């Protein structure tokens, strides 16, 4: 509460009386999402189609180029992210490029700016019980042009909301 004084003049007598103003309550909407996927960050200085082809060959996948993911930001800015998808009966594997596809009137940025030193991400949804993540990462590291692959904790990322589409 704020105290504001005003002068009340009655005849020749001046009296100061306090006025109490109630401060307005502020409501803040907080949205939180459950991160239900594993995120593997990859350094590989190749085009996404070449990495997808090598992942298909090495892991026996069938990554297929899917429609690009469009992210819209404030100020009429947006970006397109390259998107490859492989779906099994129980799992979904998604290869996405960290950097936006370059084009006209696009926001040329990273999907995860705090990890801009990584080129690609693999998102694994619905991880099954028999799936060994460490063996999976080891197989990715065996690909000749992959310099580095590491499991990231997506829940701790500042811009994790960009991964929810």
Hunting for tokens 């940025």 — which residue is that? 109
pLDDT at 23: 62
* pLDDT number for residue 151: 93
Nearest to 62 by CA among 98, 93, 90, 97: 93
pTM of the shown model: 0.74
> 11-23: per-residue pLDDT in tens?
444 455 555 555 6
Gap between the terminal Cα atoms of the chain = 44
- Residue ranges in the chain modelled with pLDDT below 50: 1-14, 104
Reduced to 3 states (helix: H, G, I; strand: E, B; else coil), residue 137 is helix
Q: Which of 117, 122, 71 is nearest to 92 (CA)?
A: 122
């Amino acid at each position: 509460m704020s105290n504001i004084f005003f002068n009340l003049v009655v005849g020749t007598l001046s009296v100061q009386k306090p006025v109490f103003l109630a401060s307005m309550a502020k409501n803040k909407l907080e949205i939180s999402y459950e991160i239900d996927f594993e995120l593997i960050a990859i350094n590989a200085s190749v085009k996404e189609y070449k990495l997808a082809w090598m992942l298909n060959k090495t892991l026996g996948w069938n990554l297929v180029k899917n429609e690009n993911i469009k992210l819209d930001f404030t100020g009429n800015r947006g970006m397109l992210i390259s998107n490859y998808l492989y779906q099994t009966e129980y799992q979904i594997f998604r290869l996405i490029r960290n950097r936006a596809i370059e084009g006209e009137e696009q926001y040329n940025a990273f999907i995860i700016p705090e990890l801009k030193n990584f080129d690609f991400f693999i998102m694994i949804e619905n991880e099954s019980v028999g799936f060994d993540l460490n063996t999976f990462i080891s197989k990715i590291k065996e690909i000749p042009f992959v310099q580095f692959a590491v499991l990231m904790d997506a829940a701790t990322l500042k811009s994790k909301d960009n991964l929810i589409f």
